[in-house]
Structure 1
Amino acid sequence: MSENPARARSFDTKAKSICWSKADVVAGRHPERWRKDAAGNVVCKRFFNCLGCLCFEYDHILPFSKGGESVAENCQILQTRVNRLKASKDDLDVDRLKDFSCDVQFTDKELDIIEMAVYGDVIRPGNQCRCRTVAEMLGKYKPKDHTAACKLPTEPL
């Protein structure tokens, strides 16, 4: 007689990939880098499992503690703060989830700066650029990448 294996609490790589791809895209942003969580918050794929306003976690729609499985169909991305306050509640609608959201709203310029800091470039329709190295700025290196260097704002945001 074989025993049932323990249920996996975490989502596997495939489930996470499907979960990310089914989340709403952020207009004008690269869909592999930016998405909206179930409450409409903008999150960055590089900020998985941290505590900032652009951070997110993979969440069980039906909580694991209430029998929810760790499969793509039961997965949604949620801003970390929202997920922590949601805890094991499964009866929260989107408006209630928004009540838990980080209230910082980033401008496009701020998201560009964050994206360049995190990825080294910015990929947006009509606005693709890359980060210049110090050697390049000093004229000691000529890049092979012909993508224009990003122009960062020089005035306060």
Structure 2
Amino acid sequence: MKAVLPHSLEFYPMQAADLDAVAQIEAGIQAFPWSRGNFADSLHAGYSAWVARLPDRLIGFSVVMQVLDEAHILTIGISSSLQGQGYGARLLQHAMHQVTTHGARRLLLEVRPSNARAVALYRNFGFQQIGVRKGYYPATEGREDGLVFQKELA
């Protein structure tokens, strides 16, 4: 079977019809996932919400809130079976391009310290850690900190 390369990935604005697939991916990659309702609320609020598709299926999503020249990645994810193949990098590039096109000069996000793959991806893209939000994320036992990263956009 021939592998599908990241260049076949396409991006579309998230629609209500995508919510079940998006929530299913989220549930497969997060121990404490956003609900379908959280994604629906993001659409209703007008956030920059996108899906990533291969020719045969939806494989990822991003939701970014932008206020004036600052944007904040609220959630971003790629189906667990396709992680580590370059799709997450392409999705992150797309999110950065979208907010830059709409005037953002700075991009922020939080990430769990235990999510080493995501931390490495953000660092690879030039994000700098600027802080820690103590007990930011729910965890199996108690809470987990959130590392705050930022990137200045050109």
User: Which one has a larger percent strand, Structure 1 or Structure 2?
Assistant: 2
Output the TM-score relative to the length of structure 2.
0.29
Q: Which has the larger radius of gyration?
A: 1
User: Which one has a larger percent helix, Structure 1 or Structure 2?
Assistant: 2
